Amino acid sequence: MSRFVVIGGANVDIMGIADHPLRPQDSNPGTIRTMLGGVGRNLAENLARLGENVSLVSVVGDDSFGRWILEQGQACGVDMRWVQSLPDQRTSAFLAILDPDHDLHSAIADMTILNQLDQACLRPVLNSLQPEDLLIWDTNLNPELIHWIADQAPCPLAMDPLSASKSEKARPVLSRLTYFKPNRAEAERLCGFAIPTPAKIRAALDWFAGQGVEETVLSLGAQGTAVGTGQQRLLMTLDPLEPVNTTGAGDCFFAVYVSLRTQGASIADAAECAAAGAALTLSDPLSVSPLLNRQALMLWRSRLHCRWLDLNQV
């Protein structure tokens, strides 16, 4: 692959972490952190930190948050030429409340600025793509634009469906996807059945293959990560980790995975290194760890105890 192009959100994450179990309709003591986020932006930064040639396509407001996003992206090696700074617009933001275990309790996502992305501004981006590139985009875009991108892009495609409700936007373009990374809730929404057991996980991977997805990477939380491609149906599990921050781990996993798979790595090597990147991200208070690089992946991989199950045998 000569280049990664990521179309998606670039926003500021404001995280409130409660010191004690949350009391609804009350002021809860805790810690508030502000960091850069957005799935698209996170993917682009992770890929840049892995040494990949990556461009981000997004929009920000002409405000302090937008300038922060532009400056930080340039500093870590992301090509930001396709990120537009729009006057009289708010940079998108994600406001999250986490419980003491750092699990998400509730959140508000203000992503309306992404409605400014349209065919006119994306056409030059798609025209610049080569067959050996990989285009990654998410479901923050409107459904018509998602379908148009899938029709127009001359290269392999990868998608993160973001949430169960937004995953419906992915349904019409599943047949065009080379890589697809849903979590359990998103996969269950699309498949139409629960996937609690290895047999059901295999059935879900079969369903996505039947829709035309070339390679599905199914995130199952504590149950592990399942991968389906060709005739392979695999489940990787590992020992539980104690997170400092749960935001961004999945983005790092996907970035590492596609980086290595496009270089010809095996599923096992790509997934184990991706799990190592996710573990590093979980240990860092930021949504993208500045410590991420290929040497760090090898170190963190050596600390994990990955186990593999052939789902075709269950």
- pLDDT 10s digit of each residue in the chain, 314 long? 579 999 999 999 998 999 999 999 999 999 999 999 999 999 999 999 999 999 999 999 999 999 999 999 999 999 999 999 999 999 999 998 989 987 788 889 898 999 999 999 999 999 999 999 999 999 999 999 999 999 999 999 999 999 999 999 999 999 999 999 999 999 999 999 999 999 999 999 999 999 999 999 999 988 999 999 999 999 999 988 877 777 799 999 999 999 999 999 999 999 999 999 999 999 998 999 999 999 999 999 999 999 999 999 99
What count of other Cβ atoms lies within 10 Å of the Cβ of residue 229?
19
How far are the Cα atoms of 98, 192, 243 from residue 29, in angstroms, in the given order? 12, 40, 20
Residue bearing tokens 């995280």: 15
Pairing assessment for the beta strands 215-219 and 225-229 based on DSSP bridges: antiparallel
Q: What gap in Å lies between CA 219 and CA 209, rounded to an integer?
A: 16
The residues, any chain, with a CB within 8 Å of residue 30's CB and separated by 6 or more, are 16, 17, 18, 19
DSSP for residue 247: T
Q: What gap in Å lies between CA 294 and CA 273, rounded to an integer?
A: 9
Q: What gap in Å lies between CA 74 and CA 146, rounded to an integer?
A: 26
192 three-state secondary structure? coil
Q: What gap in Å lies between CA 190 and CA 64, rounded to an integer?
A: 38
Lookup: tokens for 142: 């409107």
E strand map for 139-222: 157-160, 179-180, 215-219
Lookup: tokens for 65: 């948050």
Q: What gap in Å lies between CA 83 and CA 284, rounded to an integer?
A: 26
Q: What gap in Å lies between CA 192 and CA 174, rounded to an integer?
A: 15
- The pLDDT of residue 1 is 55
- The pLDDT of residue 105 is 87
- The pLDDT of residue 251 is 96
Q: How far apart are the first and last CA of the chain?
A: 35
Nearest Cα residue to 6 out of 82, 62, 60, 75: 82
